[in-house]
Chain A
Amino acid sequence: MSEPLLFEISTPGRTAFTLPQLDVPATPLPDGYVRSELPLPEVSELDLVRHFTRLSQLNYCIDTNFYPLGSCTMKYNPKVNEKAASIEGLIQVHPLQPEETLQGSLALMYQLQEALKEIAGFAGVSLQPAAGAHGELTGVLMMRAYHRSRGQAQRRKILIPDSAHGTNPASSAMAGFTVVQLPSDSRGNVDLVALKQACDDTVAGLMLTNPNTLGLFEEHVLEVCETVHACGGLMYGDGANLNALLGIARPGDLGFDVMHFNLHKTFSTPHGGGGPGSGPVGVSERLVPFLPGPIVAREGDRFYLMTPEKSIGRVRSFFGNYGMFVRAYTYIRMHGPEGLRSVAEHAVLNANYLKALISPHFPVAVERTCMHEFVVKGDVPGTDVRALDVAKRLIDYGFHPPTYYFPLIVREALMIEPTETESKRTLDAFARAIATIVEEARTNPALLHEAPHTTPVSRLDEVKAARNPILCYRG
């Protein structure tokens, strides 16, 4: 039973809010600005509260159920983060206050910058970008500025493996680069032969996600970095999958020149529902002068804002998504170095455990020990059941579907990332649901084609929605 729209429960004359008495002289609006009719829903306060409460109860989130959405790292967001983010002194400051009155807030930003530098092995960090793809664009713009500063504006190409997140080519194109796609080899790594052929003095750099979207560690990552550096290019790291490496390997040490962090993935700030996200960028020594400002610097006990000399400029108003810095910093300090390492270890362990349970039902795309996630072929041979049907049926068993039809290089892909915060009990239940669904596919495929059955609305016509979208309420 779906929740009616406010328009549908509207009764003329009802109101949920009473304006206070006018205590200033009335000033009529000029003619032409006043509408004779304003078709807004009219409901009582209680109607309104119940409507939104019921909607919130329909919400599916990490606090209610398992959310194995590949490459999204939907880990639990500890409540202590929220407690820290609501500390009075942190929420009552204004970004335009004088610096000397913001010292506590700036100190937190400084400590977070330092922590991210240490975790990923970089020489500098800017917290400005508002989310992951914004961090990518920022990083790619720094690469452009770096090459231009050296008189190498002819470096117009960015190499991107075919397993990359779609945001990588989008960010490159947005920064004015031409994208050259690199194939993967049979073990899911970047094809080194193709890489060597593509490397020349027109290459600005390569964008690599490690582990990649197949959940596999790039076995030749050092050689890839060396090859790109040898032709004068820079290495961009997509930090979306950093959760697998925390405390174990540092992208800066591997040879990456720039990487964005997803605080809303790796560092447990809320993900989805508008977050907001936060996508700080870390850089190696040679890109430090190009970082977007302001950055927090320290002189003795004083913290101050500065912008590096060759900065690409601001990429975000004020200081970035500050509330997320507080949450991520809390997460880092609550875990400490050993704790962060065990986050990565358990993320990898959980993924491999779940892979072992699921691979008898769905073949794994590339049979290797995985990192924090894995990709399977999610159709059921001998039936007309596809990965989409399996994903939708999982909803009936109380699980959020995994990412499906991505990465594009795997047919009927289901991309599963359990994260470290799930228990063995949850993983077992998920694997049992998969086994049951595969059985259903053989005995009663219609059940899957029409799934989900337990939600307020059943299978939606996605084709019709995409071809003829109706984006406004039509009364």
Chain B
Amino acid sequence: MKLDANARYTESHEWVRLEGDAMVCGITDHAQEELSDVVYVELPEVGASFNRGDQFGVIESVKAASDLYMPVSGEILAVNQELLNSPELVNKDPYGKGWMIKIKPSNPAEWDSLLTPEEYEKSVTGA
């Protein structure tokens, strides 16, 4: 399982990274591996606001459809339009070109309650 050392994580397998005042979010390498080939990603409108834990989108693979959850509360600043035509980027590069949304956090302190890479790895492997 690959991890991004600079990111924080959720139990529901999203990662978040700080980019200036904004936060960028996607799904983890472990999540894309479990889902297998991703065939469709549905992302929210730019400008929409969500609370932490709200569903912001849907991801569909040949195996299953899953909801995507907001790792922190905030407003959607941008979404990765490339995923609409190339959902396979989530499989190929989950922490890079497979990013999903850019968030303007309404409560930046929520960052501190997210899982560290070590904590996330532990929650997945149960070790």
Contact = CB atoms under 8 A, between A and B. Distances in A.
A463 B39 contact: yes
Interface string B79-102: 000000001100000000000000
A467 B41 CA distance: 11
B122 interface: no
Interface in A437-475: 462-463, 466-467
Contacts of A467: 39-40, 87-88
A408 interface: yes
B64 A466 contact: no
A166 B60 CA distance: 14
A405 interface: yes
14 contacts: A166-B65, A405-B63, A405-B64, A408-B64, A462-B37, A462-B62, A463-B37, A463-B39, A463-B62, A466-B37, A466-B60, A466-B62, A467-B39, A467-B40
Give the residue among A166, A405, A466 with the most B Cβ atoms within 10 A: A466
The contact size tier of chain B is 10 to 19
B63 A466 contact: no
Contacts of B40: 466-467
A64 B40 CA distance: 36
A165 to B, nearest CB: 13
Interface in B9-40: 34, 37, 39-40
A466 B41 CA distance: 12
Contacts of A466: 37, 39-40, 60, 62
Contacts of A462: 37, 62
Interface string A395-420: 00000000001001001000000000
Interface in B49-70: 60, 62-65
A142 B88 CA distance: 42
A463 B40 CA distance: 10
Contacts of A166: 65
A379 to B, nearest CB: 12
A311 to B, nearest CB: 33
A279 B28 CA distance: 40
Nearest to B88: A467
A466 B88 CA distance: 12
A462 B60 CA distance: 13
Given A405-B64, A466-B40, 17 more contacts: A166-B65, A405-B63, A408-B64, A411-B34, A462-B37, A462-B62, A463-B37, A463-B39, A463-B62, A466-B37, A466-B39, A466-B60, A466-B62, A467-B39, A467-B40, A467-B87, A467-B88
Cβ-closest 7 pairs across A and B:
A466-B39, A463-B37, A405-B63, A462-B62, A467-B39, A463-B62, A408-B64
Contacts of B65: 166
A463 B35 CA distance: 12
Interface string A139-154: 0000000000000000
A71 to B, nearest CB: 15
A213 to B, nearest CB: 14
B87 to A, nearest CB: 7
B100 to A, nearest CB: 17
B69 to A, nearest CB: 11
Most-contacted residue by chain A among B63, B64, B87, B88 (CB, 10 A)? B63
Contacts of A408: 64
Interface core residue of B39, B40, B65, B87 (most chain A CB under 10 Å): B39
A196 to B, nearest CB: 20
Nearest to B64: A408
Interface in A150-182: 166
Interface string A328-372: 000000000000000000000000000000000000000000000
